[in-house]
Amino acid sequence: MGLVVQKYGGSSVADAEGIKRVAKRIVEAKKNGHQVVVVVSAMGDTTDELIDLAEQVSPMPAGREFDMLLTAGERISMALLAMAIKNLGHEAQSFTGSQAGVITDSVHNKARIIDVTPGRIRDSVDEGNIAIVAGFQGVSQDKKDITTLGRGGSDTTAVALAAALDAEVCEIYTDVDGVFTADPRVVKKARKIDWIAFEDMLELAASGSKVLLHRCVEYARRYNIPIHVRSSFSGLQGTWVSSEPIEQGDKKVEQAIISGVAHDTSEAKVTVVGVPDKPGEAATIFRAISDAEINIDMIVQNVSAASTGLTDISFTLPKTEGRKAIDALERAKTAIGFDSLRYDDQIGKISLVGAGMKTNPGVTASFFEALSDAGVNIELISTSEIRISVVTRADDVPDAVRAVHSAFGLDSDSDEAVVYGGTGR
Amino acid sequence: MGLVVQKYGGSSVADAEGIKRVAKRIVEAKKNGHQVVVVVSAMGDTTDELIDLAEQVSPMPAGREFDMLLTAGERISMALLAMAIKNLGHEAQSFTGSQAGVITDSVHNKARIIDVTPGRIRDSVDEGNIAIVAGFQGVSQDKKDITTLGRGGSDTTAVALAAALDAEVCEIYTDVDGVFTADPRVVKKARKIDWIAFEDMLELAASGSKVLLHRCVEYARRYNIPIHVRSSFSGLQGTWVSSEPIEQGDKKVEQAIISGVAHDTSEAKVTVVGVPDKPGEAATIFRAISDAEINIDMIVQNVSAASTGLTDISFTLPKTEGRKAIDALERAKTAIGFDSLRYDDQIGKISLVGAGMKTNPGVTASFFEALSDAGVNIELISTSEIRISVVTRADDVPDAVRAVHSAFGLDSDSDEAVVYGGTGR
């Protein structure tokens, strides 16, 4: 049997009991004959406590030092996890991101992995050890400074290591049973997905699903590393994310027409009102936004009113970037020549994702019908080949998600199935 | 002006307020025109908390992982300190022991510094930064594993860096005002020493004075780095430890005849009773002890009783090593051929240290007279060129220390001065 990479999040190793429980699970995999590399996050609230300390000494902690501080978190959890495994009679060694060869760029607090040179990890597992690697951290290629990958970066560490070590699978252990057809906190009848293709998972992640980060799935797709998202508490099979459907028993899980419904209430909408309808205006606006290093999501330009020659341009972006975007546009007001700005952070986005959309042209109509039947007003629309997203009032989101989930036959215990329904089981 | 190395202990950086206070002091040194390298320990109780966590997951934490765990402590304090300095408008960068080039052997939990290659620190200060270095830690030469130097190792880090960087002085900031003529908790009239020679400081450290570790002073003497021990709270001049007396105002501090009185109640006495008085017996005993990696302090062999041809051999050692020593001797009982073992942990050691002893033959007699006048019974005696030590009952130690301190005119506010008295002020 080959090598597996397992990743455990902060909630799985929140205290000494959690660490001992995780150690047992890791030893199981080793006993089953696998070489095991484990990526671990900081314990429970450690990161928040460190951030709190930083804020006590400085209102604006510097990136380099902030990363040095935060990486103490995984150092603690990984050393304790290695001790707990040794206490079960198995050999384990812990490694920092730098020791594990996780090379990043120099953008502190949200560095990107450039390369992974896992020579020490390979040697360690070849000597029979279980290797424990700090998630979320690396070392910058140029200055050899400690960097962090940003929140959720431990998943990316795990996938990147799995790729560099040519692992059979990257198991992401978390506190939920897998990826669901919708957020189970909103949709009680949401179903666990047995298998989902990389492409669908990418769209779900981009549309607000929190289980896996977009960057991590992207990495896994590029190197074709199967991800198995599962609970560190239950031991049940979770969700497989891969290029080809998995075998379950003697039948193959089939490609679902619709994978799931995602929602996101973390965005705001900016409308630039009264923009002259002439070439180059949109470019000026979005150059100002991108110069301020703001990522935007959807863009809609209204049809120009013939009488005035003016139009409105709306876009959505993370609420946390709202202030920065408004400031950037105000500074560029003369260059753009707009009348006014409107800012609205009471919006929500609902997205339907499924590879079957490509070959089932009725999906879009059914989606809008479901929203209409639920009395939900649509403000913006955006589509990709395998996704439709709409922006609505934030208050409408829960009802809208439930309506769409039900309309596409995704509800569990439901015998009804519309033409596009079912996950293929 | 040249480069100074400052070291701050855990009590000086116990919380955010402490870190901010220390940051101000560091910035003062920088403003005075120095290049500044700071060595910092873990915050207050961090190390104890980490040890507690380790004990929760494993009764016998492995050395390599234990070191990985503990080094998270300085990582936190050094990053916070760098942030606090930057918040005062000065540039600072923190470095782990490994990044700072602190190369050690592979003995986890009590590694020794083999070499210091401070290229990154030199570059950082040359660029105008204040460099903050994690104390207590390094990286092993052969395996590139993270190591710790053992408790108090941050002082050694500071002196070793000062030597490698050819610093003007190594300032050790602590929670006391300097080195005293005796422990001020025992002797209320103890005086702060303005200057003390390396040799005398080495003897004091070896005799139980806790302010500076023996290894740190040894390192400073070898590379001739002046140490200035002072309070991080008061800002007063503390104690200079160096090869040559310092200048104070327009007069030079003179060599004291007697530097101080140290005491130690952390040792126990083992007596091997009924040893055949023939060549090789002592060698067999102390080979058994040294094979068990136990460091011993004083050794005394009684005069053999002519009637039996048997003698007793006593030695002292740290109480923490007592169990191990007894076990080692029991195992070697046949080879040695002794009657029985006696173990006594109710002993104390009082030492008088002073370079003037060499040329003032009356010191020893005065020392014994002072003890006798105080009614203290002497059990063992050991001497070096500049030190006399006696073992007494532990209960007698406070009275004995006060009596000796007073007899040699070391008490502050005392106008009386015996012939050997005074610190030269």
- Between A134-138, A399-403, B147-151, B260-264, the lowest mean confidence (pLDDT) is in B147-151
* pLDDT confidence band for B260 (50 / 70 / 90): very high
Token pair of B165, please? 């960087």
Q: CATH code at B351?
A: 3.30.2130.10
* pLDDT confidence band for A315 (50 / 70 / 90): very high
Domain for residue A164, yes or no? yes
**Closest-CA residue of chain B to A53:** B16
Same domain, B142 and B273: no
Angle (nearest 5°) at CA A55 between A54 and A60 = 95
Domain for residue A274, yes or no? no
Residues of chain B contacting residue A86, judged by C-beta atoms under 8 Å apart? 58, 62, 65
Same domain, B272 and B420: yes
Domain for residue A344, yes or no? no
Domain for residue B62, yes or no? yes
Cβ of B72 within 8 Å of Cβ of A72? The answer is: yes
Same domain, B131 and B271: no
Domain for residue A14, yes or no? yes
Domain for residue A9, yes or no? yes
3-state secondary structure of A176: coil
d(CA A377, CA A372): 7
* pLDDT confidence band for B255 (50 / 70 / 90): confident
Q: Kindly report, residue by residue over B102-131, the tens digit of the pLDDT.
A: 999 999 998 999 999 999 999 999 999 999
Residues of chain B contacting residue A59, judged by C-beta atoms under 8 Å apart? 87
* pLDDT confidence band for A28 (50 / 70 / 90): very high
Domain for residue A249, yes or no? yes
Nearest to A76 among B72, B78, B144 (CB): B72
Placement of tokens 């000065």 in the chain: B90
Q: How many CA atoms lie within 13 A of B274 on its CB side?
A: 8
The residue out of B154, B175, B196 marking a domain boundary is B175
- For chain B, the residue count is 425
* pLDDT confidence band for A166 (50 / 70 / 90): very high
Contacts of A132 (CB under 8 A, 6+ apart): A38, A40, A78, A81, A82, A85, A92, A93, A94, A95
Task: With beta carbons less than 8 A apart as the criterion, state whether A19 and B57 touch.
Answer: yes
Nearest to A79 among B68, B83, B87 (CB): B68
Same domain, B287 and B145: no
Q: Kindly report, residue by residue over B347-383, the tens digit of the pLDDT.
A: 999 999 998 887 887 888 899 999 999 999 998 888 8
Q: Which of B65, B42, B61 is nearest to B145 (CA)?
A: B65
Q: Has residue B259 got a pLDDT over 70?
A: yes
Q: Has residue A157 got a pLDDT over 60?
A: yes
Cβ of A83 within 8 Å of Cβ of B65? The answer is: yes
What per-residue confidence (pLDDT) applies to B18?
A: 95
Classify each residue of A137-154 as buried b or exposed e, where b means 16 or more C-beta atoms within 10 Å of its C-beta: bbbbeeeebbbbbbebbb
Residue A133 sits at the chain B interface (C-beta within 8 Å) = no
What per-residue confidence (pLDDT) applies to A273?
A: 92
- Predicted ipTM of the assembly: 0.79
| Beta-carbon count within 10 A of A210 CB | 13
Residue B92 sits at the chain A interface (C-beta within 8 Å) = yes
| Domain of residue B162, residue span | 3-175
Residues of chain A contacting residue B62, judged by C-beta atoms under 8 Å apart? 82-83, 86
Q: CATH code at B45?
A: 3.40.1160.10
Q: Kindly report, residue by residue over B170-214, the tens digit of the pLDDT.
A: 999 988 899 999 999 999 999 999 999 999 999 999 899 989 988
Residues A121-147: what's their mean pLDDT?
A: 96
d(CA B313, CA B273): 7
Residue B57 sits at the chain A interface (C-beta within 8 Å) = yes
Nearest to A53 among B16, B56, B64 (CB): B16
Amino acid at A26: I
Q: Has residue B252 got a pLDDT over 80?
A: no
3-state secondary structure of B226: coil
Q: Has residue A49 got a pLDDT over 60?
A: yes
The residue out of B175, B198, B218 marking a domain boundary is B175
Contacts of A114 (CB under 8 A, 6+ apart): A103, A104, A105, A141
| The total number of structural domains that make up chain A | 1
d(CA B5, CA B168): 8
Q: Kindly report, residue by residue over B45-94, the tens digit of the pLDDT.
A: 899 999 999 999 998 887 999 999 999 999 999 999 999 999 999 999 99
Domain for residue B190, yes or no? no
Q: Is A119 annotated as a binding residue?
A: no
Residue B20 sits at the chain A interface (C-beta within 8 Å) = yes
Q: Has residue A421 got a pLDDT over 70?
A: no
* pLDDT confidence band for B317 (50 / 70 / 90): very high
The model's pTM is: 0.83
